[in-house]
Amino acid sequence: MNFKRLETFIWVATLGSFRKAAEHQHTTQPAISNRIAALEEELGVRLFERDSGHSKLTSKGQELLPYAEKIVLMAQQLRKRADRGASLSGILRLGVSETIVHSWLPRFFRELHETAPNLDVEITVDVSGNLRSGLLDRSLDLAFLMGPVSEPKIENRALCSFPLIWVSSPELNLPDRLLALKDLAEWPIITYARNTKPFAEISQKFSELDELPARFYSSSSLSACRQLTLDGIGISTLPLSVIKHELESGRLVQLNTSWTPSELAFTASYSRVPFNPIAELAANLGVMVSDEYDRTTHHEKLSQDPKNDN
């Protein structure tokens, strides 16, 4: 049985059209059509219903797809095990949350270049919701994002987490005491984009206040959040990795608060089917670098009590 035909069958089923499968496999649409026709003739069944440019699996196609996926996966894993010394090449389409950019991503790229020097990388920095969509529509091979991604065909590998702390510019002269939510709500809350988990948690918590509604200045850019906070526009809750130098220099101060949002949990997420050895390799490297970062720096955590010198 022709391996390339099975692989094409999987991609047409996954992407929903012969055109998209042709683009992904860097070939022509007629070539894709010929492969599917040959496979259908070999199996003696019709795999797709062709209608207005969209290719829908027949009931028999749906039945056979898992078997094709298993065959292709096993064949790819066999190749990988038999040729461990081969140099990987191609393009890795990598999605990254900005928190990772400001922490261990440079170390990751050094390791990746050493392991796979012939690999090209196409980087997308975005909020986790958009990175998740990129994984599902196959525009991304791998994403370091706030996960996990709850989809059956997505593999999620745990990465290190990042605690959040409340900070402000010293120019705001916030009281040097334990600050309750109502104290924080007197200032604009500079925070993550509205389509993120941190924003949902923070806005929900401040909605408990009756007397003073909170004002949110949300942004998809952590760098923008940091700069607005430095400029004294409001207060913010950010990962230490983003603001470490500003805290050390005194340009930002940590606030002593009665409540802090949950820490940010990240995963290296990629599609299990079709098997992508580049994505798997990069995910494994991401886990290794993330764990090393966590061990050596402990996120360089500050005590939740800003007065604690320990």
pLDDT in tens, 275-309: 788 999 999 999 999 999 988 776 445 444 444 44
pLDDT along the chain (310 residues), means of 10: 85 88 90 90 88 80 89 76 59 94 94 89 94 93 94 92 94 91 92 91 89 86 93 93 90 94 95 86 94 75 44
Quickly name the fold that domain 89-161+264-300 has. D-Maltodextrin-Binding Protein; domain 2 (3.40.190)
pLDDT of residue 82: 55
Quickly name the fold that domain 3-82 has. Arc Repressor Mutant, subunit A (1.10.10)
User: Among candidates 112, 133, 115, 113, which has minimal Cα distance to 124?
Assistant: 133
Backbone φ and ψ for 157, nearest 5 degrees, come out as: -110, 130
Q: What is the pTM of this model?
A: 0.68
pLDDT of residue 298: 62
pLDDT of residue 147: 87
- Give yes or no for a contact between 152 and 292, defined as CB atoms under 8 angstroms apart: no
Which one of 3.40.190.10, 1.10.3720.10, 3.30.70.360, 3.30.1330.30 gives the CATH number of domain 164-254? Answer: 3.40.190.10
Alpha-carbon distance 128 to 136, whole Å? 12
In the chain, where the domains are located:
3-82, 89-161+264-300, 164-254
Instruction: Specify the amino acid at residue 51.
Output: D
46, burial (CB in 10 Å: exposed 0-12, middle 13-18, buried 19+)? middle
pLDDT in tens, 5-47: 888 989 898 888 888 889 988 899 899 999 999 988 889 999 9
89-161+264-300 and 164-254, same CATH topology: yes
pLDDT of residue 232: 94
